[in-house]
Structure 1
Amino acid sequence: MLKTRYEGPAVGIDFGTTNSSVAVVRGDEKVELASFPTATGSTVSFRSILYLEQVKRNGGAKQLLSKTGPAGIEAYLDAEEKGRLIQSLKSYLPNRTLTGTEVFGRHFTLEQLVSRMLADLRERAERQFGIPIRHATVGRPVRFVGAETDENDAYAVSRLRDAFALAGFEGVEFEMEPIAAAYSYESSLDHDELILIGDFGGGTSDFSLVRVGPGVRARGRSPEDLLGNSGVGLAGDAFDARIVRKLVSPAMGSESFARSLNKTLPAVPTWIYANLERWHYLSFLRTRNVAEILRSARLRALEPEKIEALTALIEEDLGYQLHQAVQRVKFELSHSTAAEFRFHEGSLDLRIPVTRDEFEEWIAEELSAIEHSVDSLLESSGVSAREVDRVFLTGGTSFVPAVRRIFAKRFGEGNIQTGHEFTSVAHGLALRAEESLVASLV
């Protein structure tokens, strides 16, 4: 069982649905981020991915190897025979029915799978900073994806704590991710403010109202400084899925039909296209059954070229490349009113124009849920929008203009600030860890 009392050094770990990062406080509250090697250099944003593969050793015996983060992606892309690529594990933590999975005939609990990523994060940070890391302050969402009750939310926290223990940690403290972002923002202030933090991850969007500043630190923080928080179980991944559903899947036959006797029916079952919306599920479609379904559909389809494109995407296992193309067009639409989805991989060459207005129409339901979460936070906290001094937005989805307009409409464009969108939570967690460490020594 992990200890809960904090011990040095001051380390913050943001274990995210899509990306993770680690930060350490050195002297004079200087925060340093761990970096992770990639094929083209290094990155401070570690993809929350686990890749498992079987390799033959001398004598023909098979050994199960795991790689995580950028190294896991590169191993997956380089492999001729694909192993098992797993991502978004954080989103399954509240699920009591998902206890684990079989990989190459071996059973792994969810906690064991998560711990492999956490162990690599810890070991990489230890090598870079030259210090042992056994304690950390760890981020958690206001509400985990899929946690419908407080009990399920607490269950997710307990599983994450167990995963940290399996990864070699002796103690962790949990802090709300938007509160951690508030610590990061506060480090640049020379006066006190009431701020609204919007933290957009891959799986959750979290919001908090909190008083921060040098005066708050000097008098000592109190529970009353956190006026309220709210969250919704959607963010960047949901936006990506909409792009695939509305833009990519139609180009691969999702709206196409086939002749069947005297009837015209959908060419391909909808569940196949549902797997496209989460790129790491594409490997699950490389089965004999799916191949036969697509072969038959291609023969009967009114638009066989679209079924051929879908077949190529699956057979050539281009899920990750598709995900990257979706990310690119989403980024372009955040900076331009129109863009072109480009996907030139393997035997595929897709070019599809898309406008920002179309994208915003596709994500209207998600935008409404975010609006409701922000408004409910203000209402439950008894705070009016004009009382909020500043809005600090962090996470990749904060770049989306339609998301930013939600806050500009309520608080004014001039009151919105962004920065370090992918690492501010880890930065703030490290500062929070330093504060806990100092308090424990007083």
Structure 2
Amino acid sequence: MENSAPARACGIDFGTSNSTVGWHRPGVDTLIALEDGKITLPSVVFFNLEERRPVYGRLALHEYLEGYEGRLMRSLKSLLGSKLIKHDTSVLGTAMPFKDLLGLFIGELKKRAEHNAGRAFDQVVLGRPVHFVDDDQAADQEAEDTLAEVARKIGFTDVSFQYEPIAAAFDYESTLNREELVLIVDIGGGTSDFSLVRLSPQRRDIAERHDDILATGGVHIGGTDFDKQLSLQGVMPLFGYGSRMKSQAFMPTSLHMNLATWHTINSVYSQKSQLALASMRYDIQDTDGIDRLFKLIEQRAGHWLAMEVEETKIQLTEAQSRHVPLDRIQPGLSVELSRALFESAIDPLLARVRGSVSQLLGTAGVGVEQVDTVFFTGGSSGIPALRQSVAAMLPNAQHVEGNIFGSIGSGLAIEARKRYG
């Protein structure tokens, strides 16, 4: 394959938590810097009310945390395959279709990549999870079609897709000097995706690799689901989760569920939610938690709290516990979150991940002892319990860590070069 010229097309890894753009050039790092010299752009939009403009990435999070008035939107990818994608949301006082919101962010990725590459990109290979939607092929196809429609609307003329774990496999393959049977474990913000792929230096330049992909699978569990369980088990009890009504029934949980889920936090601030909460207060045995919940809503501190939970999850990768001060809600209020609590909270999710890997191996007709390598990628692949959980299933495999935020974007760039030259 001719390698002397830069590729015509780019690869975009639009992630639930972070996004990257890859462009294959000889002798140059594949990933394009997108913000302050960094290869990732957090998948975040903040609509700054004072300046009436959208802000993206780290700057968006910074302005929100600095206390600027506005609307923070995160986990945008989770909209794909959800019923919300066909609806509008209120932004700076006007209705904006959720599809247009996706277009704003992906358009910003395109603009920044083109600026730093010094050229336009008309063709793109977009990464996609193995399943946008579990067990619903029609909804899954609709999610891919929506993403393609958004990409064309922002100016891409040729749009194609590759499974994210397959892209990560191609990135890993570029480092190999012998053949390996590799299980790609890609744990992103919204999905866990798996591929069993035969990789070797001799196969790198073959355009059609269908026969080397032994099986693909996945489950709709990712970093935001781990955050949610940590929030519900460790933090939300302080805000009334699990409280008893005077009837001895448990307090309804929908508000806590919404607060623990990135793309539904704003719904808690609605008048309807607050009225429901106010009427519930009369029927609750201990009002301390519900009163803190009112303070949290009054301060619109849901995203702040979700960021604290996410930061705790990240720190628990190395630490055994993290102390989280909550003085913003109530002076002297805090919570100690331990790795043991976190692992207990996510254990049912890890069981589903293991089930998906077992199913994948069964589909491929491959025994656990035949897998040479487990390649971990994706922002949530560093969680110790998750790694141990998967690794214990494959006793003979070596464990390799890819660039947890960059492997997919690099692999998509390799694929874009193959497809478009």
Query: Structure 2 length as normaliser, TM-score?
Result: 0.89
Aligned pairs for 1:146-157 within 5 A = 146-157=133-144
Aligned identity (percent) is 32
Compared CA separation, residues 29 and 228, structure 1 to 2 (3 A): farther
Q: From the two aligned structures, give the one with the greater strand fraction.
A: 1
> Where in structure 2 are there 5+ consecutive unaligned residues?
1-5
Q: Please say if 1:51 is aligned against 2:46.
A: yes
| Aligned twin of 1:210 | 197
Compared CA separation, residues 192 and 53, structure 1 to 2 (3 A): same
Give the aligned residue type for 2:30: V
Give the aligned residue type for 1:122: K
Give the aligned residue type for 2:340: D
| Aligned twin of 2:3 | none
| Aligned twin of 1:190 | 177
| Aligned twin of 1:251 | 238
| Structure 2 Cα separation of the partners of residues 48 and 375 of structure 1 | 31
Which segment drifts farther, 311-320 or 246-255? Answer: 311-320
The answer as to whether partners of 1:298 and 1:307 remain within 8 angstroms in 2 is yes
Q: Please say if 1:230 is aligned against 2:217.
A: yes
Q: Cα deviation per residue 1:36-92 (whole Å; 9 max; x = unaligned)?
A: 14xxxx532222223345568xxxxxxx63333233333444455433x33333223
Tell me which of 403, 410, 417 is aligned to 2:386.
403
The answer as to whether partners of 2:78 and 2:263 remain within 8 angstroms in 1 is no
Q: Secondary structure at the match of 2:380?
A: helix
The answer as to whether partners of 2:369 and 2:396 remain within 8 angstroms in 1 is no
Aligned pairs for 1:293-442 within 5 A = 302-336=285-319, 338-344=320-326, 346-348=328-330, 349-412=332-395, 415-438=398-421
Q: Secondary structure at the match of 2:31?
A: strand
The answer as to whether partners of 1:239 and 1:363 remain within 8 angstroms in 2 is yes
Compared CA separation, residues 97 and 12, structure 1 to 2 (3 A): closer
Give the aligned residue type for 1:49: V
| Structure 2 Cα separation of the partners of residues 220 and 282 of structure 1 | 44
Which segment drifts farther, 382-391 or 326-335? Answer: 326-335
Q: Cα deviation per residue 1:184-221 (whole Å; 9 max; x = unaligned)?
A: 11121122211110111111111001111211125665
| Structure 2 Cα separation of the partners of residues 205 and 136 of structure 1 | 23
The answer as to whether partners of 2:10 and 2:21 remain within 8 angstroms in 1 is yes
Deviation of 1:115 (Å): 0.9
Deviation of 1:174 (Å): 0.6
Compared CA separation, residues 289 and 435, structure 1 to 2 (3 A): closer
Q: Secondary structure at the match of 1:122?
A: helix
RMSD value, Cα: 2.7
| Aligned twin of 1:241 | 228
Q: Secondary structure at the match of 1:398?
A: coil
Q: Secondary structure at the match of 1:33?
A: coil
Deviation of 1:395 (Å): 1.1
| Aligned twin of 1:3 | none
Q: Cα deviation per residue 1:404-434 (whole Å; 9 max; x = unaligned)?
A: 1222212238611112111211111112212
Q: Secondary structure at the match of 2:389?
A: helix
| Aligned twin of 1:14 | 13
| Structure 2 Cα separation of the partners of residues 416 and 292 of structure 1 | 52
| Structure 2 Cα separation of the partners of residues 172 and 420 of structure 1 | 25
Q: Secondary structure at the match of 2:81?
A: coil
| Structure 1 Cα separation of the partners of residues 105 and 386 of structure 2 | 31
Tell me which of 118, 130, 137 is aligned to 1:142.
130
| Structure 2 Cα separation of the partners of residues 97 and 148 of structure 1 | 19
Aligned pairs for 1:22-61 within 5 A = 22-28=21-27, 30-37=29-36, 43-52=38-47
Q: Cα deviation per residue 1:93-137 (whole Å; 9 max; x = unaligned)?
A: 234674121425644333322111111001111121211122221
Compared CA separation, residues 319 and 301, structure 1 to 2 (3 A): same
Q: Secondary structure at the match of 1:393?
A: strand
Q: Cα deviation per residue 1:151-177 (whole Å; 9 max; x = unaligned)?
A: 222211111000001111111221110
| Structure 2 Cα separation of the partners of residues 75 and 290 of structure 1 | 26
| Aligned twin of 1:4 | none
Query: Structure 1 length as normaliser, TM-score?
Result: 0.85
Give the aligned residue type for 2:345: W
The answer as to whether partners of 1:21 and 1:44 remain within 8 angstroms in 2 is yes
> Where in structure 1 are there 5+ consecutive unaligned residues?
1-6, 57-63
Compared CA separation, residues 222 and 329, structure 1 to 2 (3 A): closer
The answer as to whether partners of 1:199 and 1:206 remain within 8 angstroms in 2 is yes
Compared CA separation, residues 311 and 333, structure 1 to 2 (3 A): same
| Structure 2 Cα separation of the partners of residues 264 and 218 of structure 1 | 66
Compared CA separation, residues 219 and 378, structure 1 to 2 (3 A): same
| Structure 2 Cα separation of the partners of residues 209 and 414 of structure 1 | 13
| Structure 1 Cα separation of the partners of residues 361 and 202 of structure 2 | 24
Compared CA separation, residues 290 and 141, structure 1 to 2 (3 A): closer
| Structure 2 Cα separation of the partners of residues 367 and 134 of structure 1 | 40
Compared CA separation, residues 95 and 332, structure 1 to 2 (3 A): closer
Compared CA separation, residues 282 and 102, structure 1 to 2 (3 A): closer
Give the aligned residue type for 1:48: S
Tell me which of 257, 278, 302 is aligned to 1:274.
257
